[in-house]
Amino acid sequence: MTETSKLNRRFFMKGAGATAMLGSAVGGGLVIPATASAKGMGSMNMSMSYDLNEEFNRIGSGDSKWDGIRNRARPFDVPFPMGVADMDFRTLPHITEALMKRMGHQNWGYQPIPPYYYENIIAWNKKRYNQTVKPGSILNAHGVLDGVLAILKTHNTEGNKVLIFTPGYSGFFGVIRNAQFETLECPMPIVDGRYEMDLDLMARQIDEEDVKVMLFCNPQNPTGNCWTVEEMRKMGDVCLEKGVLVVADEIHCDFVNKHAKYTPYATIGEKYAMTSYTLKSTSKSFNLAAQHVAYMFSDNQEYIDTLQKNGHQRRSLNALGMIACNAAYLHGAQYMDDMQSYIDGNCHFLENFLAENIPDIKYKVHEGTYLAFIDCTAIAAKLGGPKDDQTVGKLVQDFFIQKAGVNINPGESYGKNAVGLMRMNLATTHKKLHGALNAMKKAVDAI
């Protein structure tokens, strides 16, 4: 019997079956009820051990994306929460099986890192991206931002401003603030529909503010840029010349659309690798954010040693998080390939739908991440603009929540130059995306 067929015979729980499954596991045996085989998606070649089209019900689990916004938006219903950056699909079945097997053992004493944990991290990065991660250079973290915080506190000892390209990941603003530093925004202009680095401005800002550290997102959240080798080398040369450490958040690296390519920053040349950190996690790729498991590494062993000496001595993490990460990297290649194809389809569907049905919202298929950055400037204008202390983003967000039941994130969260833009999470089923867009069209048509 093949591994896939075994999983098909011991598959996921559904609805109330979750309780029965857990009870069975605690009783000593792992039982995963069978499910129907995966439905096809056009020409897409999907594995048969899961179904990305399944309408998986997350309501009632207490999660941030579904239950969180439903609680905050009351009395309005939000059947299409597309804000928080996690996915609506069941996770890889091997992960569920590994977790339930461990939960069936009713003791939670100290547990070491799973066998081959680091080897699987190294193998994943080597096979998919030809990136060599040195075994002794990996440090664990509860999340990418936890790792960033440790790096900032270690390397920005003079308290200088920390530079980021904007629009940039909203979490960067918070972690810089938590480290008790200030954010220095380097706005990116749009050239032919794509954001580009303004390296001249970046160089001036570094000189004027004596910047020592920059946070770099690749692929870039929320713009979706997968930075080219040439772009990164030019940026890296500025940082090298001026003595700036590059902290590369590459958590979205496994989500790249078909026309694009992700290149790890640390692979563009030794001098760039030796003056940077890389941070990654299975939390995005396999939807494991609640497991609090991430890792960081650098080719510069002195960086790693210094980080440990300054207090980041974490080795083991949450036991279930490590087990989940291990199973993901060991068994998840086909699942990840299928996920990429599925989300690529969502991106193209969004572009076509908006062009044909809501031309006031502008969007061009992006390169990486499962997050679309859509231009709703014209919608805000039709709504008459913000009132009192309301921002443009809050105006648009409230409109789509109240009139369409769709939640998307305000652009102001990602930088001063993102007013009128909104971030939309496409890591959901085709049916949900289509339903959300139809509801948005109806709302816009009624303005």
**Domain CATH code at residue 128:** 3.40.640.10
CA–CA separation, 189 vs 165, rounded Å? Answer: 10
CA angle, residues 392, 398, 403, in degrees to nearest 5: 130
Q: Which domain holds residue 221?
A: 117-331
Residues 309 and 216 in one domain: yes
Q: In total, how many domains does the chain have?
A: 3
Residues 301 and 182 in one domain: yes
Residues 387 and 412 in one domain: yes
- For residue 32, what pLDDT is reported? 29
- For residue 188, what pLDDT is reported? 98
pTM of the model: 0.88
Core vs surface per residue 254-275: b (16+ CB within 10 A) or e: bbbbeebebbbbbbbeeebbeb
Within a domain: 304: yes
Give the tokens for residue 67.
Answer: 């239950």
Residues 321 and 180 in one domain: yes
Give the tokens for residue 355.
Answer: 């062009």
- For residue 172, what pLDDT is reported? 98
Residues 190 and 230 in one domain: yes
Q: What are phi and psi of 32, to 5 degrees?
A: -120, 115
Residues 79 and 124 in one domain: no
Q: Computed over its alpha carbons, how large is the radius of gyration of the chain?
A: 22
CA–CA separation, 260 vs 368, rounded Å? Answer: 7
Within a domain: 125: yes
Within a domain: 99: no
Amino acid at residue number 283: S
End residue of a domain, out of 303, 331, 359 = 331
Residues 318 and 371 in one domain: no
Within a domain: 277: yes
Average pLDDT per block of 10 residues along the chain, 447 residues long:
38 34 32 28 44 82 75 84 92 94 92 90 97 94 96 95 98 97 98 96 98 98 98 98 98 97 98 98 95 96 94 82 96 95 97 98 97 98 92 96 96 97 97 97 97
Within a domain: 101: no
Residues 21 and 147 in one domain: no
